Amino acid sequence: MARLTVNGRGVEVDVDPSTPLIYVLRNDLALNGPKLGCGRAQCGACTVHLDGQAIRSCQLPLGEAEGRQVTTLEGLGTPERPHPLQEAFLAEQAAQCGYCTNGMIMQGAALIQDQPGITEAEVLEGMRGNLCRCGTQPRVVRAVMSAARKGA
**Site for ligand FES (CB under 6 A): which residue of 32, 42, 78, 93?**
42
Helices first, then strands: H and E counts in the chain: 7, 5
Stretch that binds ligand FES, among 36-44, 76-84, 105-113, 116-124 (CB under 6 A): 36-44
By CB under 6 A, residue 96 contacts ligand FES: yes
Q: Which of residues 97-116 bind ligand FES (CB under 6 A)?
A: 97-100
By the rule CB under 6 A, 61 interacts with ligand FES: no
Tell me how far CA of residue 47 lies from CA of 8, 15, 39, 70, 117, in angstroms: 17, 20, 11, 11, 24
Residues 143/85, Cβ–Cβ less than 8 Å: yes
Instruction: List all residues 6 or more positions away from 50 whose beta carbon is below 8 Å from its beta carbon.
Output: 60, 65, 68, 69, 70
48's enclosing H/E stretch is strand 47-50
How many Cα atoms occupy the beta-carbon half-sphere of 69 within 13 Å? 10
**Nearest CB to ligand FES, comparing residues 3 and 128:** 128
Question: Which span sits near ligand FES by CB under 6 A: 10-18, 31-39, 72-80, 105-113?
Answer: 31-39
Stretch touching ligand FES by CB under 6 A, among 62-70, 105-113, 126-134, 142-150: 126-134
State the number of binding residues for ligand FES (CB under 6 A): 22
Q: Which residues bind ligand FES (CB under 6 A)?
A: 36-39, 41-46, 56, 58, 95-100, 132-134, 136
